[in-house]
């Protein structure tokens, strides 16, 4: 077993959960009414180890939308499909140091990385463009289902409709990339953007997301089903990017002080990977000024203080 005394470990995690629950700073995202209406005090937490041990605390069975936490999975999908070289002809792999929707491209006119909006829009453009939109979306849902060990995700159509209605910045980013010829030829921008909003509007529970995170912790093999979902090299590249770019413009600080790969979303989602050990999902909607879950970041700080989970901890 990767964690031999699982009971004690779970108890310690429960303590961190209770301490973190006291934190009530930050504000829920309010750029669309569906997110503004979410109960700010919700707090779900789930763990799944690479050998399939798991536990849940709080609101771990409630649905929330993926938002930016769809980005690492879409990147893995296009990476598996096209290979490292082709993907990175369209997307960089450098932190941007800017906010997630900043109007900025790298010196080649490409998105800085796949974990900010511009890069995630590009991943959507690259994802099985030869298929119908319905099959492209089904492919994403199916992948989440497999990553979660068979839990079918939901879709929040109200969130999708709101995303689409308030999408000026994302349209601007897409046209900006189109101007610099970053997309493959024949890319339909509206289809691509709508696909991106649909991916952001997929809903999962913390429990399902922790299973997905554990697949990334386990080199792409789902611990509960044994299915190899992504190539190990794809997962390695994805984790490198989550480590350097997963927390918006707090990524450098997060890598320095906390030191493991994670990806946040403005729904308050946080997908965490402790490589070769476990996946963790946290959902708590109040956000800090970067757009990261306040309790999520707080939880990670406590986690790294109490366990040797920092990449460069001396074991």
Question: Which residues are annotated binding-site positions for substrate?
Answer: 68, 117, 163, 170, 196, 248, 266
Q: With respect to ligand GLN, which residue has the nearer C-beta, 117 or 187?
A: 117
Out of 96, 117, 198, 234, the residue judged to bind ligand GLN by CB under 6 A? 117
Q: Which one, of 268, 154, 136, 263, lies nearest residue 208 by Cα?
A: 154
Asked if 101 touches ligand GLN (CB under 6 A), the answer is yes
Q: With respect to ligand GLN, which residue has the nearer C-beta, 67 or 96?
A: 67
Q: For residue 102, what are the contacts with CB-CB under 8 A and spacing of at least 6?
A: 96, 116
The answer to whether residues 193 and 183 touch, using CB atoms and an 8 Å cutoff, is: no
Asked if 163 touches ligand GLN (CB under 6 A), the answer is yes
Asked if 170 touches ligand GLN (CB under 6 A), the answer is yes
**In the complex, minimum distance from the CB of residue 108 to ligand GLN, in angstroms, rounded to a whole number:** 23
Q: Quickly list DSSP for 106-173.
A: -TTSS-S-TTSHHHHHHHHHHSSTTS-HHHHHHHHHHHHHHHTTS---EE-HHHHHHHHHT-HHHHHH
Measured CA to CA in angstroms, residue 219 lies from 15, 83, 223, 275, 303 at distances of 29, 16, 10, 8, 22
**In the complex, minimum distance from the CB of residue 166 to ligand GLN, in angstroms, rounded to a whole number:** 9
Q: For residue 219, what are the contacts with CB-CB under 8 A and spacing of at least 6?
A: 232, 235, 236
Out of 44, 58, 246, 291, the residue judged to bind ligand GLN by CB under 6 A? 291
Size of the site for ligand GLN (CB under 6 A): 11
Q: With respect to ligand GLN, which residue has the nearer C-beta, 67 or 156?
A: 67
List the binding residues: 68, 117, 163, 170, 196, 248, 266
For 112, how many CA atoms within 13 A lie in the half-sphere containing its CB?
21
Q: Give the C-alpha separation, 204 to 224, whole Å.
A: 17
Binding positions for ligand GLN, 64-83, rule CB under 6 A: 67-68
Contact characters 251-290, ligand GLN, x per CB under 6 A: --------------xx------------------------
Interface residue list for ligand GLN (CB under 6 A): 67-68, 100-101, 117, 163, 170, 200, 265-266, 291
């Amino acid at each position: 077993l990767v964690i031999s005394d699982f009971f004690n470990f779970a108890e310690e995690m429960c303590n961190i959960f209770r301490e973190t629950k006291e934190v009530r700073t930050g504000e829920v995202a309010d750029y669309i009414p569906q997110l503004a209406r979410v109960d700010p005090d919700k707090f779900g937490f789930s763990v799944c180890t690479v050998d399939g041990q798991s536990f849940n605390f709080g609101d771990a069975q409630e649905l929330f939308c993926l938002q930016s936490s769809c980005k690492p999975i879409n990147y893995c999908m296009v990476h598996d499909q096209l290979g490292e070289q082709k993907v990175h002809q369209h997307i960089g792999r450098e932190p941007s140091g800017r906010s997630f929707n900043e109007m900025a491209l790298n010196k080649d006119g490409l998105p800085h990385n796949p974990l900010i909006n511009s890069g995630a829009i590009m991943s959507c453009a690259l994802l099985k463009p030869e298929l119908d939109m319905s099959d492209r979306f089904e492919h994403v849902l199916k992948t989440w289902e497999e990553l979660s060990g068979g839990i079918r995700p939901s879709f929040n159509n109200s969130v999708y409709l709101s995303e689409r209605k308030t999408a000026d910045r994302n349209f601007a980013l897409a046209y900006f990339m189109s101007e610099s010829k970053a997309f493959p030829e024949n890319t339909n921008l509206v289809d691509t953007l709508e696909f991106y909003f649909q991916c952001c509007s997929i809903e999962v529970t913390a429990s399902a997301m922790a299973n997905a995170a554990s697949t990334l912790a386990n080199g792409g093999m789902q611990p509960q089903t044994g299915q190899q979902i992504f190539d190990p090299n794809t997962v390695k590249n994805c984790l490198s990017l989550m480590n350097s770019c997963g927390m918006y413009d707090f990524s450098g600080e997060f890598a320095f002080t906390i030191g493991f790969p994670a990806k946040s979303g403005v729904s308050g989602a946080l997908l965490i990977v402790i490589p070769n050990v476990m996946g963790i999902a946290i959902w708590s909607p109040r956000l800090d000024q970067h757009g990261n879950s306040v309790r999520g970041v707080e939880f990670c700080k406590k986690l790294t203080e109490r366990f040797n989970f920092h990449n460069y901890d001396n074991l």
